[in-house]
Amino acid sequence: MLLKASCQCQKIRYELETDLYYPYMICYCSICRKTNGAPFGVNIKGDLDNLKIINGKDYIKTYSAKDCERHFCSKCGSPLYITDHRWPDGIWPNAASIDTALPKPPEYQQIFLDDQVPWFKPDIPGKKFSGYPKWSIDEYHQHLKNSNLDNETNNNEI
């Protein structure tokens, strides 16, 4: 799926071709919360080779938090995507930066629940983890392909 993305002020636009596009992982860790200015963050995944900066390259600044490089717009502050030197081939776009309509995930996972703020504890069905999840994003998408979870979940939708 070709994803088109941008920051809020539209100086930066980027594109990414990826098969790992379900925005299913809701992360409450303090880094996601602070860098998103929100009670959680949602990232998807792709290959760094497939990233195309369409415009605004000069506005992109990076901030290192632990092992991750967080890339954001220096004009409007919008978080764009993450890279990680431990997995140098990957890129983790902030799902909220994507303008292309992403599919609703058949199943959510909430991670780093130990770091959740007391004023935002939504009732979201799916798997819950106190810290890191059991599966990587790649494994989750592989699981979806194998189990055809899409169809199973659609049948039960209200």
The answer to whether 110 and 39 are in contact (CB under 8 A) is: no
**Distance in Å from the first CA to the final CA of the chain:** 27
Identify whether the C-beta of residue 69 lies closer than 8 Å to the C-beta of residue 88.
Answer: no
7 scored as a contact of Zn ion (CB under 5 A):
yes
Please state the closest distance from residue 24 (CB atom) to Zn ion, in A.
Answer: 14
Q: Which of 5, 11, 79, 140 binds Zn ion (CB under 5 A)?
A: 11
Q: Give the shortest CB-48-to-Zn ion separation in angstroms.
A: 19
Contact range with Zn ion by CB under 5 A, out of 44-52, 70-78, 92-100, 142-150 = 70-78
Q: Does residue 38 bind Zn ion (CB under 5 A)? A: no
Please name the amino acid found at residue 118. Answer: P
Rg of the chain in Å (alpha carbons) = 16
In the complex, what is the shortest distance from the CB of residue 154 to Zn ion, in angstroms, rounded to a whole number?
A: 29
Q: Is 27 in the site for Zn ion (CB under 5 A)?
A: yes
Q: According to CB under 5 A, which one of 73, 80, 82, 91 is a site residue for Zn ion?
A: 73
Please give the residues from 122 up to 151 whose contact with Zn ion meets the rule CB under 5 A: none
The pattern of x and - marking residues 74 through 103 that bind Zn ion according to CB under 5 A reads: -xx---------------------------
Closer residue to Zn ion in complex, CB, 16/29: 29
Compute, in degrees rounded to 10, the torsion defined by CA atoms 82, 83, 86, 89: 130
DSSP state of 128: E
Q: Would you tell me how many other CB atoms lie within 10 Å of the CB of residue 93?
A: 26
Strand partners, 84: 68
Among 3, 16, 29, 44, binds Zn ion (CB under 5 A): 29
CB 46 within 8 A of CB 17: yes
- List interacting residues with Zn ion (CB under 5 A): 7, 9, 11, 27, 29, 32, 73, 75-76
